[in-house]
Amino acid sequence: MIGLGRAGAELHLPVLAKARAAAPGLFSAEPVVACDPRRVLADRPGLVTTATAAEAAKLLDPARTAVHVCTPPTTRPEVIGEIAELGFRNLVVEKPLASDTDDLARIARLRRRHGLRIAVVEPWQMSSLTARLTELVRGGELGEARSVSIVQNKPRFRRSLTAPSHPTAFDVELPHGVGLALRLAGSARVTHAAGSDLAFGDVVVPRMGGARLGLRHNSGVRAEISSDLTSPVRERRVTVEFERGRAVGHYAVSGDDDHSQLTVTGHGRREHTVLRDDSLTEWVLRAYRLFRGTGDPHSQGFAFAGDVVRLLSVAKNISAEPVVPSARAESRTPTGAR
C-alpha cells in the first residue's frame, strides 16, 4: 500500500481486513507492506512499514502482489510509474484515477508500456442500491427515466485546511456521482459547472468549498450532481425521476454503517427498503478475484474511470472562473429551476 492517509489507513486497511476474513483463500496471510512518501510510519499488527516503495518491493513478489495506490490524485503518474518500474503489474487505484486529462494520458501510456492491470476504486458500482436503481431504470416499471439528481454533502474543513490532498472539490465526492450517473443513464456531455472556495473568517482554501455540474446524457436523461464540503450534515442522496414515479436512494455516509435505503413512489404506492450494502468490501473482493484471471479483466473499468476523469476535467475548466462565494445556495435550487 502506497499512502497511509485517510484513504489508506481509514478505508483500505480496514476493508482489506474484512475482505481477508471473508475470503481467506483469496489473500496471502502475510502482513500488508506499506510506505507513505509524506510521513514516517511505525509497524503495527498486520502491517509492515518501509521508508520507500523500493524497500517494500524487496519484501514482496511482484507477480503475487496487488499494490493499493492511496496517494493524492495529483501524484498518480509518478507513483504508478515508480511501481511499474519495480515490477508490479496489479494495481488498485483510489478515485479519481487522475486529476486531469494530461495525467490520465500519462497513466494510460504507463499502462500500455508495462502491461499494468489497474482497478480503479468504484464501490458505488458494486452497491446493492445501485443495482436496484439500475433495475428500475432498465425494467421500465415506472416508465422512462427523465432526470437524475445526486447530492453528496459533508463537512470537510479539517482535512481541507490541514492535509490538502485534492486540487478541487470536484475531485473529492463527485467522481462517485459522475460514475453513478453514467451507470444509470449512459454516456454524457457536460452542460454546465460551478465551484466555490472553502471560506470562514479570514481563511480561504481555493476551490474546496463545493462543486456542481450538469450532464446531458445521450439517452436524453439530464443529471445534476452537486457536493457541498461546508455542509453541516452528511448526505449521499440520489433521486431518479421517471415518467410515472420517483426513486430516492440514500448511500451510507461513512464506514460506521453498511446499509443504504431506497424509497420508490409510483402507481399509487410508496415502498421503503433498507439494504445491506457493504459495497467497498464487495468491490475489493471482486477486484482481487479478477486479478487471478488472465489478460486484463479490469480494462472495462479503466475505460469507465477515464470517462469520469474526462467529464470532471471539462467541468473544472468551465468552472475555473469565477469562483462563487458559496455552493450551498445553488445546491438548494429546486429541481428544474433555471
pLDDT tens column, 214-256: 999 999 999 999 999 999 999 999 999 999 999 999 999 887 7
Give the range among 92-106, 129-143, 157-171 with minimum mean pLDDT.
Answer: 157-171
Any idea which fold 124-277+301-331 has?
A: Dihydrodipicolinate Reductase; domain 2 (3.30.360)
| pTM for the whole structure | 0.91
DSSP class of residue 6 equals I
For residue 43, pLDDT over 90 is answered with: no
17-31, 155-169, 322-336 — which one is most confidently predicted on average?
17-31
The three cell numbers locating residue 220: 436524453
DSSP 48-99: EE-SSHHHHHTTS-GGG-EEEE-S-GGGHHHHHHHHHHTT--EEEEPSSS-S
Average pLDDT over residues 96-122: 97
Q: Write down the domain spans for the chain.
A: 6-121, 124-277+301-331
Q: What is the pLDDT of residues 266-281, one digit of tens each?
A: 999 999 999 999 999 9
Contact by Cβ (8 Å): 86, 63: no
292 vs 327, residue with greater confidence: 292
Q: How far apart are CA 53 and CA 29, in angstroms?
A: 21
Average pLDDT over residues 68-87: 95
6-121 CATH: 3.40.50.720
The three cell numbers locating residue 55: 524497500
Average pLDDT over residues 41-58: 88
Average pLDDT over residues 92-100: 95
Q: How far apart are CA 236 and CA 257, in angstroms?
A: 13
Percentage of the chain surpassing pLDDT 90?
Answer: 80
Cα–Cα nearest to 178, from 187, 70, 134: 187
Residue 114: per-residue pLDDT: 98
For residue 292, pLDDT over 70 is answered with: yes
Contact by Cβ (8 Å): 206, 320: no
For residue 332, pLDDT over 60 is answered with: no
Three-class secondary structure of residue 126 per DSSP? helix
Percentage of the chain surpassing pLDDT 70?
Answer: 94
203 vs 86, residue with greater confidence: 86
Average pLDDT over residues 113-127: 97
Which stretches does DSSP call E strand in the chain? 32-34, 47-49, 66-69, 90-93, 117-120, 145-155, 188-200, 203-217, 222-228, 230-242, 245-250, 259-266, 269-276
Cis ω on the peptide bond leading into residue 73 (within 30° of 0)?
Answer: no
